Structure 1
Amino acid sequence: MRVVLPLAGTRGDVQPAVALGLELQSRGHDVVLGVPPNLVDFATRAGLTAHTFGPDVQKLYSSDRGQKALAAGSTFKLMPMVAKQMSEYAYQMDSELIALSEGADIIVSTQMTEDRSQSIAEAAGIPMLTMHTFPSRRNRTYPFPGSVSHKKELPPFVNETTWRVAENLRRVGFGKYINRLRKRLNLPTTRKGIEGILASEGVPELQIYSHALVPGLAEEWGDARPFIGFIPLSREAREAVGELAQSHTDIVEWAESGPRPIYFGFGSMPIRDTHAVTKLVEQVCADAGQRALISAGWSDLTTTDAETADHVKVVGALAHDVVLPHCAAAIHHGGIGTTFESLRAGLPTLVCSVSFDQPFWGAQIEKLKLGAHVPFPKVDADTLAAGLRVLLDPKTVQRASEFAHRLRPSETAAARVADAIEARAGL
């Protein structure tokens, strides 16, 4: 069976599908991935066939304009920029997906590619399945991510209303591009939203995140949208893409040379002044009597590390599964992949959210008393120190340790998604 997985976004969006692709490939299926140009090497080094699909969103985020939009901490300021990039790339993206899907027996999409995938699958007369990495369908338990403050408990009808508004905005905003693709495929145009189309076709919508992070949602959705859990990348695959355990020896040795450090995952945050940030972390941790391990994508890593005090170490990107178990707590942007890794390691977590689904996950961590949440623009010495106190509270530490066990079933998630794909294909 030829399985095509069109993907968009950053590594956090692509990595679960790579793990799934490897599982499908081990079962003898022909797996083809469509990924942004900056992630083709990542997917191929893991051992999969991958082709360019869509624009390089990470490049957009790293641009001066993108960094300013991210630093504003507003999804609504970031969305127009992303939408503009997507609209400029729309026709080419359609062409890439048409070529990618040639000869496919089934298409497996994500919430970011399901619109196009549905039209392609309909034209080819083949089944499809979609995977969601955060709540992406109407419900009465939670509001649409980023639409309102997630700190307050809202009436169910308000939560549902935010979804109705978001669905309509998506239909209006992307409808013209989808209908252009449908015309190209000789399909009738539609005024329906993708949510209604997939529901009417009975397309399985698998939730590849843990129901433990969203209490009540599994009960509301029932079997219609099953929760599978996170899909982690195996250590073997991580080794293949270059995240060698042995290359982290010096980091692990430093972490074990004293009290467990606080992990700061600043690699995906819009840091404008690296010197100021390291000094902030250095001072806050010194005041709290803690050590800090800063993982950042800064160009002056070596110089920055040399200028820090002994209780602070600055490194580049690292393998979370190797290093985080040696840390005491984690502070990062709240992307679902990093959030899963820190919680799986049993670490109390402070989310410094930037945009999209990150404020939602930060709010959930706070509600579950597994850590704290501070919007990135509000991060300063006071908010960082306050968050650190929450993380180091023995009760938070205990809850985070116990919660980690609820994420362990994710080790079989790839196999369960593969089972669902085979069932959808009639195998």
Structure 2
Amino acid sequence: MRIAIPLTGTRGDVHPVVALGIELRRRGHDVLFGAPPNLVDFVKSAGLPAQACGPDVQQLYSSPEGQQALAAGNTLRLMQLVAKQMSGYADRMNREVIEVCQGADLIVASTVTEDRASSVAEAMGVPLVSLHYFPCRANSAYPFPGALPAHWSPPAAVNRATWTVAENLRRVAFLPYLNALRAELGLRKSFASPAGVLARARVPELQIYDPALVPGLPRQWDARRPFTGFLTLDHDTRAAVGDLAGDHDGILRWIDAGSPPVFFGFGSMPIKDAAAVLRMVDEVSSLLGVRALVSAGWSDLDIAAAHAGDHVRVVGDFAHDVVFPRCLAAVHHGGIGTLFESLRAGLPTLVCSVSFDQPMWGGQVAKLGIGAHLRFTQLTAERLRQALAPLLTPESRSRVAEFAATLQTEGGAARAADRVEAAAR
């Protein structure tokens, strides 16, 4: 079977889906990825064919406008910037999605490509499967991510209302380019939301995150929205894409030479003043009497020139599952991939969210009693100290260890591949 997977976004959007592509190829299927231009080589290094699809969103985040929006924690402004970038790229992306899907027997899309992919699948008469990285369909258990403060627990009616507003805003914003695509494909205009289109077509929507993070949600959704757990890469693929290429021996020697450190890192989110963040980490870890392992992968920080006390170690990329089990706690941006890794390692986690679904995950770790949440824009040394201190206790680690035992840590890619093959049948 020929399977097309058109994607766009950051590495966090592409990384888990590569695991699914590897599993589908292992089962004998031909897989073609569409990936942002800055991630085509990443997909190819995993041994999967890939071609450019969509704009370089990471470049947008790193631009002066993107940096300003990130520094302000302004999700709406970021969404406007992404929409503006996509608007200027719309016709080209329409063509790229069509090219990726040409000749496919089945299409696998993601949260950000399912709208285009659904029209292409309709025109081709082939099945579609969509992958969701976070709850992005109407329900009464949780509001639309980012619509309300993360620490709120609104009543069901309010939660439902946020989804109605968000889905209508998305429908109005994206209908022009979607109908341009539909005209190119010879299809009639559509005025429905992407959620409505996929619901009518009974498209499977795989939730590629863990149900333990969203209690109450699984029972609201039917079998069309199964939870697979996070999709992880096998050892050989991780080596091929460079995940295991970091200085693990040096990092582990530093960890083993003293007490377990607290991990600090902010994933693929560019941070405007990395040196100021490092100074804050240095100060707070000194006040709390802990060592700090700082990942500079999220910034343009010069590791060799980074200035901090002896209790701080600044490092480049490393494999989370190699290092995290030796840490005391974790502080990061709340991207679902990093969150999965810190929780499965049993680390109490402080989420310093920037935008999109990150505040929602921060709210969840706080509500579940396995961590705490701060908006990155509200981060000060004192707030960081106050939020982190309670997470360093044996009681906190015990609670997270119990929660970690409930996570689906293996087999996510296989479960997702089973659903993809079932959709084809």
1:418 is matched with: 417
2:247 is matched with: 247
Which deviates more from structure 2 when the two are superposed, residues 380-389 or residues 366-375?
A: 380-389
1:137 is matched with: 137
SS at match of 2:303: helix
1:366 is matched with: 366
1:230 is matched with: 230
* CA deviation profile, 1:106-144 (whole Å, cap 9, x unmatched): 001111100000000000010111111100100000000
Matches within 5 A, 1:171-186: 171-186=171-186
1:312 paired with 2:324, answer no
1:26 is matched with: 26
Matches within 5 A, 1:277-292: 277-292=277-292
**Could you tell me how far apart the structure 2 residues matched to 1:268 and 1:282 are?**
21
Q: Using structure 1 for the length normalisation, give the TM-score.
A: 0.97
Cα distance, 1:225 vs structure 2: 1.3
Cα distance, 1:215 vs structure 2: 0.6
1:42 is matched with: 42
| AA partner of residue 349 (structure 2) | T
CA contact (8 A) 2:265 2:294 kept: yes
SS at match of 1:70: helix
Cα distance, 1:244 vs structure 2: 2.3
1:340 paired with 2:354, answer no
**Could you tell me how far apart the structure 1 residues matched to 2:176 and 2:94 are?**
13
SS at match of 1:3: strand
CA contact (8 A) 1:68 1:270 kept: no
**Could you tell me how far apart the structure 2 residues matched to 1:70 and 1:300 are?**
17
SS at match of 1:382: helix
1:128 is matched with: 128
* CA deviation profile, 1:11-52 (whole Å, cap 9, x unmatched): 111011100000000011001110101111111101111110
Cα distance, 1:301 vs structure 2: 2.4
**Could you tell me how far apart the structure 1 residues matched to 2:270 and 2:15 are?**
22
Higher helix share: 1
Matches within 5 A, 1:254-293: 254-293=254-293
Cα distance, 1:334 vs structure 2: 0.6
2:11 is matched with: 11
Which deviates more from structure 2 when the two are superposed, residues 194-203 or residues 157-166?
A: 194-203
CA contact (8 A) 2:247 2:318 kept: no
Cα distance, 1:267 vs structure 2: 4.3
| AA partner of residue 135 (structure 2) | P
Runs of 4 or more consecutive aligned structure 1 residues displaced over 6 Å after TM superposition: none
Which deviates more from structure 2 when the two are superposed, residues 266-275 or residues 121-130?
A: 266-275
**Could you tell me how far apart the structure 1 residues matched to 2:206 and 2:246 are?**
35
2:396 is matched with: 396
CA contact (8 A) 2:246 2:317 kept: no
CA contact (8 A) 1:301 1:316 kept: no
Cα distance, 1:270 vs structure 2: 4.1
1:96 is matched with: 96
CA contact (8 A) 2:275 2:301 kept: no
Cα distance, 1:415 vs structure 2: 0.7
**Could you tell me how far apart the structure 1 residues matched to 2:37 and 2:177 are?**
21
1:302 is matched with: 303
Q: Using structure 2 for the length normalisation, give the TM-score.
A: 0.97
**Could you tell me how far apart the structure 2 residues matched to 1:246 and 1:389 are?**
29
**Could you tell me how far apart the structure 1 residues matched to 2:374 and 2:180 are?**
41
* CA deviation profile, 1:172-209 (whole Å, cap 9, x unmatched): 00011100000000000111111111111111111111
1:195 is matched with: 195
| AA partner of residue 283 (structure 1) | E
2:86 is matched with: 86
**Could you tell me how far apart the structure 1 residues matched to 2:224 and 2:90 are?**
31
2:118 is matched with: 118
| AA partner of residue 54 (structure 2) | G
* CA deviation profile, 1:378-424 (whole Å, cap 9, x unmatched): 111111101211221322211111211222x3411111111111111
SS at match of 1:421: helix
Which deviates more from structure 2 when the two are superposed, residues 386-395 or residues 41-50?
A: 386-395
2:211 is matched with: 211
Q: Percent identity?
A: 55
| AA partner of residue 274 (structure 2) | T
2:152 is matched with: 152
Paired residues, number: 424
Task: Pick closer, same or farther for the CA change 1:303–1:225 going to 2, 3 Å.
Answer: same
SS at match of 1:411: coil
CA contact (8 A) 1:143 1:158 kept: yes
Which deviates more from structure 2 when the two are superposed, residues 132-141 or residues 294-303?
A: 294-303
**Could you tell me how far apart the structure 2 residues matched to 1:366 and 1:238 are?**
31
Cα distance, 1:236 vs structure 2: 1.8
1:58 is matched with: 58
Any gaps of 5 or more consecutive residues in structure 2?
A: none
CA contact (8 A) 2:45 2:241 kept: yes
SS at match of 1:60: helix
Any gaps of 5 or more consecutive residues in structure 1?
A: none
| AA partner of residue 56 (structure 2) | D
**Could you tell me how far apart the structure 1 residues matched to 2:343 and 2:186 are?**
47
RMSD, aligned CA:
1.3
SS at match of 2:354: coil
Cα distance, 1:300 vs structure 2: 4.2
